[in-house]
């Protein structure tokens, strides 16, 4: 520990920490815009300036290390004036359409301007008025709102291990963008949206489909089916001031019904279906000797990573469509047939914690018998906005069930949204199927938790099967490099975002400069809600789901049947 003085108060802080962290730990809410703990310490925004005794200039607290006896002053008139001026300068070139902005009331710059009392009277610089770039189906870039904090660059490079952003040009003309300022859809971006989570303003936002979804809901000629991903039930509560990880499945069903969706289902049902298909695919590949390892296919960011960086492993990816796509395909075939609805009049909307799901829904591979599987994907944030638009406070809604049959799910399905969950669900079923009886073991703690790459072994059909789980593409790349060096695994789960889908780029964004939503702690708290859901269910294995059993009986025959392959499987080409 190191002894320092903050505003003349003696405190002990960890050696190696910076002044910003030291102050925050001791109750001083030093503002920041560019700083992200362990990810971005550029010291570029200068809003965290403090006075350090013995130093002539004000210092950026985020890059100033603590040393024995250091004396810091956080609230002198000079500090207050400087912070206010810095924010006013940022505002002087910022597109200040705050009232109509996607991040209105949830913008760190807006909050900070209010906090430091910025009024911007005299500083009317050259505002940027370039229209937002709306070229791809997942992320919109608005350069007129970029404050060049470079958090997007830091998270993409340092956390995801990709690095599509860098600063281009100089001075006022500087932009943080992909090389040659190409669109994110034209570079190796995997659409994960972690940059959207990190952006303090609305310079990066999801491509919103709110208006399109209201339009189809209002169209009486359309039967609009909504499916919500497993992660939504433990995260949307945050948008309504509920504690992180609060399970709101039943209120979610009630809210969606009140929005006017014709059928209110859950992607979790299709997660169970995925286990049936992927479990059988694994057993088939183990029997036939490959291609192994089988690698999970539900995370579209991971698929994109594989296509860009590891095309030689495309055949290892499971041919199963993701649960979201399986759901859409089944809704427009089986369910449409059951209900006597022309699939052309059915619209499937996915509510996902993920921006890459918007990309996935638009992929040419994702259609069945010439009809698109999923028509629109909206994020957790977009759904919360829509609910608020119609005056719904989610926490005050009554509990209602999802519609049947595509709304029923096992505890295993709920786990899909957490890292290791797909693997745990698959192993539960694979063990039970190969042993010919229900196996006692349900929980695989070695596949849970925050470790970047997790490994385990199970005995399947008298064979030792090596399993690996990676989350966050930086960790995924480490695992893929091990494969390239010749390490052997049989089954791998990869999720593009740290923590799995609970940490997706479409999840709630706080206005807290410490960005808790980027931390594993926050994401693990969301996952706790899913583990509790699983634990509370009688039905904890996917193959026990009676709705899934019925679909096979009525329609698909058996897993990996010709029909199942036509509807539920696909093939990627790099």
Which residues make up the interface to ligand HC0 (CB under 6 A)? 229-231, 267, 271, 298-299, 322-324, 352-354, 357, 416-417, 422, 500-501, 504
User: DSSP assignment of 396-450, as one string?
Assistant: GSPP-PPPSSTT---HHHHGGGSTTHHHHHHHHHHHHHHHTS--S----GGG-SS
CB of 227 to ligand HC0, least distance (A): 8
CB of 420 to ligand HC0, least distance (A): 12
Query: Annotated catalytic residue: which of 153, 238, 239, 278?
Result: 278
Q: Which is nearer to ligand HC0, 22 or 468 (CB)?
A: 468
User: Could you give the CA distance from residue 196 to residue 201 in angstroms, rounded to a whole number?
Assistant: 9
Query: Annotated catalytic residue: which of 337, 365, 438, 521?
Result: 365
Query: Annotated catalytic residue: which of 277, 360, 493, 544?
Result: 360
Position with the least CB separation from ligand HC0: 501
Query: Annotated catalytic residue: which of 501, 524, 542, 544?
Result: 501
Query: Annotated catalytic residue: which of 146, 189, 192, 298?
Result: 298
CB of 254 to ligand HC0, least distance (A): 20
Q: Which residue has the tokens 């539960």?
A: 428
Q: Which is nearer to ligand HC0, 31 or 193 (CB)?
A: 193
Q: Which is nearer to ligand HC0, 205 or 233 (CB)?
A: 233
CB of 298 to ligand HC0, least distance (A): 3
Which tokens go with 23?
């102050």
Count CA atoms closer than 13 A to 135's CA, side-chain side.
Answer: 11
CB of 302 to ligand HC0, least distance (A): 9
Q: Where are the beta strands (DSSP E) in 132-207?
A: 139-141, 166-168, 175-177, 204-206
490 and 458 Cβ atoms separated by less than 8 Å: no
Non-local (6+) Cβ contacts of 532 within 8 A are 247
User: Could you give the CA distance from residue 256 to residue 407 in angstroms, rounded to a whole number?
Assistant: 13
Which tokens go with 39?
């990810």
> Is 537 annotated as catalytic?
no
Q: What are phi and psi of 252, to 5 degrees?
A: -60, -45
CB of 295 to ligand HC0, least distance (A): 13
Non-local (6+) Cβ contacts of 307 within 8 A are 314, 572, 574
> Is 278 annotated as catalytic?
yes
Q: Which is nearer to ligand HC0, 96 or 474 (CB)?
A: 474
Which tokens go with 343?
């699939």
Kindly list the strands in the beta sheet with 2-6, ordered across the sheet, starting from the edge strand earlier in the chain.
9-13, 2-6, 71-73, 49-52, 59-60
Q: Which is nearer to ligand HC0, 32 or 379 (CB)?
A: 379
User: Could you give the CA distance from residue 272 to residue 268 in angstroms, rounded to a whole number?
Assistant: 7
192 and 352 Cβ atoms separated by less than 8 Å: no
> Is 34 annotated as catalytic?
no
> Is 517 annotated as catalytic?
no
User: Could you give the CA distance from residue 543 to residue 452 in angstroms, rounded to a whole number?
Assistant: 29
> Is 365 annotated as catalytic?
yes
Q: Which is nearer to ligand HC0, 94 or 569 (CB)?
A: 569
Q: Which is nearer to ligand HC0, 176 or 270 (CB)?
A: 270
11 and 22 Cβ atoms separated by less than 8 Å: yes
CB of 482 to ligand HC0, least distance (A): 23
> Is 298 annotated as catalytic?
yes
Task: State the catalytic residues.
Answer: 278, 281, 298, 318, 357, 360, 365, 501
């Amino acid at each position: 520990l190191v002894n320092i003085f903050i505003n003349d108060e003696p405190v002990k802080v960890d050696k190696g920490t910076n002044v910003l962290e030291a102050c925050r730990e001791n109750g001083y809410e030093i503002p920041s815009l560019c700083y992200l703990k362990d990810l971005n310490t550029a010291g570029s925004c200068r809003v965290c300036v403090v006075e350090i005794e013995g130093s002539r200039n004000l210092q950026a607290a985020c890059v100033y290390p603590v040393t024995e006896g250091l004396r810091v002053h956080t609230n002198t008139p000079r500090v207050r004036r400087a912070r206010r001026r810095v924010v006013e300068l940022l505002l002087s070139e910022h597109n200040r359409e705050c009232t109509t902005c996607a991040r209105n009331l949830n913008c760190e710059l807006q909050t900070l301007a209010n906090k430091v009392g910025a009024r911007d009277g005299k500083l009317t610089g050259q505002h940027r008025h370039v229209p937002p770039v709306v070229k791809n189906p997942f992320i919109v870039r608005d350069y007129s709102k970029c404050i060049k904090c470079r958090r997007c660059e830091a998270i993409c490079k340092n956390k995801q291990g990709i690095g599509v952003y860098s600063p281009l040009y100089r001075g006022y003309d500087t932009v943080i963008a992909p090389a040659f300022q190409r669109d994110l859809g034209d570079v190796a971006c995997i659409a994960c949206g972690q940059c959207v989570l990190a952006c303090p303003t609305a310079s990066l936002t999801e491509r919103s489909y709110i208006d399109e979804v209201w339009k189809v809901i209002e169209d009486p000629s359309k039967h609009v089916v909504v499916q919500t991903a497993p992660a939504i039930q433990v995260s949307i509560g945050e948008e309504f001031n509920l504690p992180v990880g609060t399970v709101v499945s039943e209120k979610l069903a009630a809210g969606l019904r009140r929005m006017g969706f014709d059928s209110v289902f859950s992607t979790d049902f299709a997660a169970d279906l995925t286990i049936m298909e992927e479990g059988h695919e694994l057993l088939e590949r183990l029997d036939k000797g490959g291609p192994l390892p089988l690698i999970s296919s539900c995370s579209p960011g991971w698929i994109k990573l594989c296509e860009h960086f590891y095309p030689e492993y495309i055949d290892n990816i499971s041919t199963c469509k993701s649960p979201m796509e399986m759901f859409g395909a089944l809704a427009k075939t089986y369910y449409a047939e059951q209900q006597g609805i022309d699939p052309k009049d059915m619209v499937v909307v996915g509510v996902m914690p993920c921006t890459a799901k918007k990309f996935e829904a638009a992929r040419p591979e994702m259609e069945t018998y010439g009809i698109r599987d999923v028509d629109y994907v909206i994020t957790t944030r977009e759904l919360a906005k829509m609910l608020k638009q119609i005056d719904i406070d989610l926490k005050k809604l009554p509990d209602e069930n999802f519609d049947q049959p595509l709304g029923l799910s096992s505890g295993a399905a709920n786990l899909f949204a957490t890292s290791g969950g797909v693997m745990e669900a698959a192993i539960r079923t694979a063990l039970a199927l190969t042993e010919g009886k229900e196996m006692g073991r349900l929980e695989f703690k070695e596949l849970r938790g925050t470790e970047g790459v997790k490994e385990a072994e199970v005995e399947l059909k008298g064979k030792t099967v090596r399993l690996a789980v990676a989350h966050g593409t930086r960790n995924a790349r480490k695992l893929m490099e091990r494969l390239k060096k010749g390490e052997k695994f049989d089954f791998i789960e990869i999720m593009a975002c740290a923590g799995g889908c609970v940490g997706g780029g479409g999840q709630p964004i706080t206005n807290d400069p410490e960005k808790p939503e980027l931390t594993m702690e926050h994401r693990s708290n969301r996952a706790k809600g899913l583990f509790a859901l699983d634990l509370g269910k009688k039905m904890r294995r996917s193959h026990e789901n009676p709705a899934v059993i019925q679909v096979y009986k009525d329609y698909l025959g058996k897993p990996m049947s010709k029909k199942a392959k036509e509807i539920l499987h696909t093939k990627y080409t790099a």
